[in-house]
Structure 1
Amino acid sequence: MTSQKADLLQGTLDLLTLKALSLGPLHGYGIIQRIRQMSEEMLTIEQGALYPALYRIEQRGWVKSKWDTTETGRQAKFYTLTRVGRKQLTVEEASWDRLALAIAKVRQAT
């Protein structure tokens, strides 16, 4: 992909967020930056999409949050992956792997 933005399949944002947080606690902007970094700048998550997703996955118990000070001295809510969230990440990754395999099979069909 070039500089165009990728449209994400519904449900993919949960996987990306959980994966980013599996590497350590982050605030919202840090999650966006980590996903951009991990995707080699191919994926850009909008704040308007991320924060509702964070609220939803926190309600499900996959992450927990607490207010803390950023490296620039500002207050921000930091998110941490919970044990339940780690299990869910495994489920999400397996589901994505099955979907990717199915799509590959369709693409290779003659």
Structure 2
Amino acid sequence: MGSQMTEMLKGTLEGIVLAVLAGRSAYGYEITARLRDQGFSDLVEGTVYALLVRIEQRGFVDVEKVPSEKGPPRKVYSLNARGREQLEEFWRTWSFLAGRIEQLHNHEGKE
């Protein structure tokens, strides 16, 4: 990913992770793997884990410790009501911004 993509992703990653969790609960590595499958191939696991700590602290997810066959229990994250509200706000904001950016792009050089 180029530096511009990295910067844009920083501003939207919370909403992207909340959207992943809206589909179903998941643990950190699973979220990273899903995002990589969606084309976010350069996404670093540590970035996702740091974000999960923040959204947990902000009360957007419920966390359950689930036993793991390969070591310590995994923290499984589930989107809760507050997280769903945050996700709805993210989509409203995204739609507004995407619409304005598309307008700018379509009018570029036409004035």
Return the TM-score normalized by structure 2: 0.82
Shift of 1:65: 1.2
Q: What SS does the aligned partner of 1:66 have?
A: strand
Return the TM-score normalized by structure 1: 0.82
Q: What SS does the aligned partner of 2:65 have?
A: strand
Question: What RMSD in Å do the two structures reach over aligned CA positions?
Answer: 1.6
Cα distance per residue 1:1-56 (max 9 Å; x no partner) = xxx4642523311111100101111000111112223x2xx213211211111111
Runs (4+) of structure 1 moved beyond 4 Å?
Answer: none
Partner of 1:14: 14
Map of 1:1-110 to 2, 5 A cutoff?
4=1, 6-9=5-8, 10-37=10-37, 39=38, 42-44=39-41, 45-70=43-68, 73-74=69-70, 75-109=73-107, 110=110
Residues of 1 paired with 2:34 and 2:67: CA distance?
18
Unaligned runs of 5+ in 2: none
Residues of 2 paired with 1:29 and 1:89: CA distance?
21
Structure with more of its chain in helix, by fraction: 2
Letter in 2 for 1:98: F
Unaligned runs of 5+ in 1: none
